[in-house]
Amino acid sequence: MPRETLQGTLDLLILKTLAPGSEHGYGITCCILNASQNQLRVEEGSLYPALRRMEADGLIKAEWRASENNRRARYDHVTRAGKKHLAETVERWRRNTAAVSSFLDFA
């Protein structure tokens, strides 16, 4: 996935992925890859700093737990502020894409 598209939407993808429950960093990349039918590939170099930033901003919260294969892993989940942020971002995304599509159809 090209960097410039990712820049604005990475937070959205992460929040959406984490919305049902908690997941570790590797799981998030897999999840996004699968859900987008191998279209969106998140780089580790972008993902981990983003997770840190969103944690510092209070959108997600992290805890250390045992993973499926019994290794210690850091699981993130969405906070209440994160849920609110997600709803707003999704809403804005829909509006913007709808606007751009209608413009493209018209032109």
Q: Is 107 in the site for other proteins (CB under 8 A)?
A: no
Closest CA relative to residue 67, chosen from 19, 16, 25, 32: 25
Check if the beta carbon of residue 90 is closer than 8 Å to that of residue 8.
no
Q: Is 45 in the site for other proteins (CB under 8 A)?
A: yes
Q: Is 71 in the site for other proteins (CB under 8 A)?
A: yes
- Candidate segments 2-10, 13-21, 51-59, 81-89, binder of other proteins by CB under 8 A: 51-59
Cα angle 23, 59, 5; round to 5: 80
Q: Is 82 in the site for other proteins (CB under 8 A)?
A: no
Q: Is 56 in the site for other proteins (CB under 8 A)?
A: yes
Q: What is the maximum alpha-carbon separation in the chain?
A: 55
Site of interaction with other proteins (CB under 8 A):
24-26, 43-45, 48-50, 52-53, 55-56, 67, 71-74
